[in-house]
Amino acid sequence: MLVGYARTSTLDQTAGLDAQLRELEMAGCEKVFTEQVSSVDVRAREKLTEALNFIRQGDHLVVTKLDRLARSMAHLMEIRSQLDVVGAHLTILGLSLDTSTAQGKLMLNLLGSVAEFEREIMLERQREGIAKAKAAGKYKGRKPTALAKSGEVLALAGEGIGATKIALDLGISRASVYRILNARDHS
């Protein structure tokens, strides 16, 4: 059985999700799992977990592109290991890659390594750029917007207004409201 998995990072990317679904349908996927969640927090990817639990021996997990599936080489190898345990395979349509073949397994390892290498290089450049900007006094980091509104948060909370309403009124997250209130309670 061909089991599809489609993912976009945000709810705004519906066109990207629709395109993935079309490709998976054209590939003959009988069941498709979809979600719109960032790949950074792998624990939040419930539909990927469902897809991996659904797959049986001889099945193929089908994705359109490698970056829709895994964020790192470690995560990719974890997924591949889960597929190997049940005797299933991975197919990446955009790369014409199929891990049921020796060449497919080799290519997956190579591509995953190259992708992780590129990401590490990008992060290294980013760190260097930030260090250079800090040394030049041009990088101060993001202003703590919620902390700057602590007085307003405490005043509104003192009036009995709930955290959700405070967050909406001040344009900050509820978590920030609770953080400010907790800091007040523990000081």
Catalytic sites, residue numbers: 9
Which amino acid is residue 123, in one-letter code? L
Residue 113: how many CB atoms within 10 A of its CB? 12
CB of 83 closer than 8 Å to CB of 125 = no
Tokens matching residue 89: 């395979």
| Residue 57 exposure: Cα atoms within 13 Å on the Cβ side | 2
Distance between CA atoms of 146 and 174, rounded to whole angstroms?
10
Q: In terms of Cα–Cα distance, which of 78, 74, 62 is closest to 113?
A: 74
| First-to-last C-alpha distance (Å) of the chain | 59
- Name 31's bridge partners: 3
- What is the layout of strands, in order, in the sheet containing 31-36? 31-36, 2-8, 60-63, 89-92, 97-98
Tokens matching residue 151: 């007085």
